[in-house]
Amino acid sequence: MSQETTIRENLETHIDEHAHDHGHDHHDHHQSFISKYIFSTDHKVIAKQFLITGIIWAIVGGGLSVLFRIQLGYPDADLNWMRPFLGKWITPEGHIAPEFYNALITMHGTILVFFVLTAGLSGTFSNYLIPLMVGARDMASGFINMLSYWFFFLSSVVMAASFFLATGPASGGWTAYPPLNALPQAATGSVLGVDYWLLSIVLFIVSVLLGGLNYITTVINLRTRGMKMFRLPLPIWAFFLTAVIGLLSFPVLLSAGVLMLFDRNLGTSFYLDQIYIGGEALANAGGSPILYQHLFWFLGHPEVYIIILPAMGIVSEVLSVHSRKPIFGYTAMVYSLLAITVLSFIVWAHHMFVTGMNPFIGSIFVIFTLIIAVPSAVKVFNWLTTLWRGNIKLNPAMLFAIGFVSLFISGGVTGIFLGNSSIDVELHDTYFVVAHFHLVMGVAAFFGMFAGVYHWFPKMFGRHLNSTLGYIHFWGTIICAYLIFYPMHFEYMLPRRYPTHAGFDTFGMFAQLNEFITIAAIASFAFQLMFVFNFFYSIWYGRKLRVQNPYHANTLEWTTPIRPGHGNWDGEIPTVYRWAYDYSKHGRDFIPQTEPLSAYELEHGEHGDESDSDIIQHEKHNG
């Protein structure tokens, strides 16, 4: 232990000296473009790399959804105008080929769940905010952090390459269930696409694990003086627990993926049993496709919390800062995050109610699933009470944070329905499920991400985003999101993953509704493109940030220079004396974490009378 402390001190003085030199002589330290922006070990640059890669993937993933929404909304339209860029995936009648439709939804799910909402959200903000908010010069290991990004990049390249395969990318759903995905004969996407998919996911897991190791180590070891765990801002708690979940669940997906690769390429039968193709029995025997589902959802369910926890953390911070009020129930917020973390590991089988599992086991999973509603509701009430009678500043960041709460409630309510196995059996694999998870973890997580981008953009790039475009972006997105997913609840009998419902008389009544949803989806995509324009335009031409602390916020990142260099603080790392949420306290608008407690001032969580009586009791006891 003592050895470790000496190392840390040594490291710190080393960096301190470095930063010192830097301050004295600006020309001593030339970084080439490559070491500064490409193979950078600075957590701030890596965060931006994650963010921009995430944005590119979001455009791709969103674009795919527009394609398949066009097919769903206009099943009879002539789509031959897409032929120049989709080629043979347009059938001679001018529709999207069913195989390609499946590939589109598979890639849409994979890209958004893993590349955008895991890497783009937690990769960006964990990297950016953890060192800045805990008061560290950089991550525990800048090099591993860099590796984390480049593994993600490699994984992206492999996934992108699979689009150009002659047989198309993986098309068996983002969950990649066997046997559909385990047998090359089963679907065109399974010929080669799934191998690319698995390889890409394996690389992605490596990236997540390397990143997560760093986040956890940094939060535990590199907090500045006075930064106790219960003085951490809530985003840091959220990122920390997200990394813990990732570290425990992603290796299980790795196992599942490795077994699948063996089944596909080396003739084993972990997931395969008694399969007939074209009347001929395959040699594979003894496997079980349900085994894959267990392994997959042991990651898959925690994964949705990996997506939503960072958004929750970001929203807690943004709501508090822009209401000029302390976050309501800080400790309850932390414990509810912890509760969600623990519970997320014991609910996975609620994705598998229709696999013929023992109903008794099913009901145990129902109970755990419904228990998750408790910490989630605690958080929702605390957000609402934070807003209550606050001095609310309705800037785009704040609007997106409030929008997050709205969407999280709307999507969460249907979770109660789906968590019950008896109802889930009816609703399984319908558009009701699609509506539920898109609201609660898809759009909601996006709103958390947008709130974070609008809030911290000035810190990241030293310029402001355009607010007018921000307001249009918010209202456009939230209206479109509800127009897409609210009507989808009515399609509770419509099965997912069908390229067209035209052949079924029962579903004819949804034709116009589907068209309506498609129009809303296209509009929503257009608003996102506008945001992307705003984002890149403002990096270079936005209004310049002229003050160090534009929001009058308490947290440490606003004590750094306007454009912080590598090492974050020019001088010494600040010391922390209080929690992050002293807003509107003792008649003062805000009190930064770096300000010592004044005489007779009590820290948050200390109760004057009680602590006094404790002392008295203590003295009595002793004397």
Return residues touching other proteins (CB under 8 A): 3-4, 6-7, 10-11, 209, 212-213, 216-217, 247-252, 254-256, 258-259, 262, 266-270, 283, 285-288, 291, 294-295, 298
Closest approach, Cβ 42 to other proteins, in A, equals: 19
**Are the C-beta atoms of 22 and 492 separated by less than 8 Å?**
no
State which amino acid sits at residue 194: V
CA angle 132, 150, 108 (to 5 degrees): 95
Closest approach, Cβ 307 to other proteins, in A, equals: 19
Tokens at residue 101, please? 């439709």
Closest approach, Cβ 279 to other proteins, in A, equals: 23
CB-wise, 239 or 250, nearer to other proteins? Answer: 250
CB-wise, 82 or 261, nearer to other proteins? Answer: 261
135 conformational bin, left if phi > 0, alpha if psi -120 to 50, beta if neither: left
Determine the Cα–Cα distance for residues 562 and 531; give it in Å rounded to an integer.
Answer: 24
CB-wise, 102 or 214, nearer to other proteins? Answer: 214
Determine the Cα–Cα distance for residues 33 and 288; give it in Å rounded to an integer.
Answer: 52
Closest approach, Cβ 268 to other proteins, in A, equals: 4
**Are the C-beta atoms of 42 and 567 separated by less than 8 Å?**
no
91 conformational bin, left if phi > 0, alpha if psi -120 to 50, beta if neither: beta
Determine the Cα–Cα distance for residues 531 and 528; give it in Å rounded to an integer.
Answer: 5
Determine the Cα–Cα distance for residues 56 and 490; give it in Å rounded to an integer.
Answer: 32
CB-wise, 255 or 422, nearer to other proteins? Answer: 255
**Which residues, other chains included, contact 380 with Cβ-Cβ below 8 Å and sequence gap of 6+?**
405, 408, 409, 412
State which amino acid sits at residue 481: A
Closest approach, Cβ 2 to other proteins, in A, equals: 11
Closest approach, Cβ 425 to other proteins, in A, equals: 22
CB-wise, 62 or 211, nearer to other proteins? Answer: 211
CB-wise, 248 or 530, nearer to other proteins? Answer: 248
CB-wise, 2 or 622, nearer to other proteins? Answer: 2
Closest approach, Cβ 256 to other proteins, in A, equals: 7
Instruction: Match 């609620």 to its residue by tokens.
Output: 350
For residue 164, what is the DSSP state? T
Closest approach, Cβ 147 to other proteins, in A, equals: 13
CB-wise, 17 or 606, nearer to other proteins? Answer: 17
Closest approach, Cβ 249 to other proteins, in A, equals: 8
- Of 53, 59, 95, 92, the C-alpha closest to 74 is 95
Determine the Cα–Cα distance for residues 614 and 617; give it in Å rounded to an integer.
Answer: 5
For residue 312, what is the DSSP state? H
Closest approach, Cβ 344 to other proteins, in A, equals: 14
Instruction: Match 């525990």 to its residue by tokens.
Output: 140
* Distance linking the first and last C-alpha atoms of the chain: 37
CB-wise, 217 or 420, nearer to other proteins? Answer: 217
Secondary structure in 3-state letters for 507-548: HHHHHHHHHHHHHHHHHHHHHHHHHHHHHHHHHHHCCECCCC
CB-wise, 23 or 267, nearer to other proteins? Answer: 267
